[in-house]
Amino acid sequence: MKSSPVVKHSVSIDGRQTTISLEEAFWTALKEIAHERGESLRHLTASINASREVGNLSSVIRLFVLEFYKEQLARQQQQETPVQRRKRRR
């Protein structure tokens, strides 16, 4: 796996400028999730920020991206037929 350096991104959340330090892979994934959900990146980051209970925003975003893809994988696995599951396990 190619390393993904941490890059600082300036964003405006609720009218305040803040900097988010994320690896490029997480930033790309966050943009893809926003696109898939039909949201702007600004709206998605604001909603992630509003729902966080602890931790810094960069860490919360990483966890959000991880959880999004874990849920997506679980949904795909639930839709598989028994034959597809057996093929995947081989």
pLDDT one-digit tens code per residue, 22-72 = 999 999 999 999 999 999 999 999 999 999 988 899 999 999 999 999 999
Which pairs from 33-39 meet CB under 8 Å and 24+ separation? Answer: 33/65, 33/68
pTM score over 0.85: no
Q: Which of 44, 33, 34, 17 is nearest to 72 (CA)?
A: 33
Residue 55 backbone zone (phi > 0: left; psi -120 to 50: alpha; other: beta):
left
Handedness of CA 56, 61, 63, 67 (dihedral sign): positive
* pLDDT for the residue 54: 84
Give the domains, in start order, of the chain with CATH numbers. Answer: 6-89 (1.10.1220)
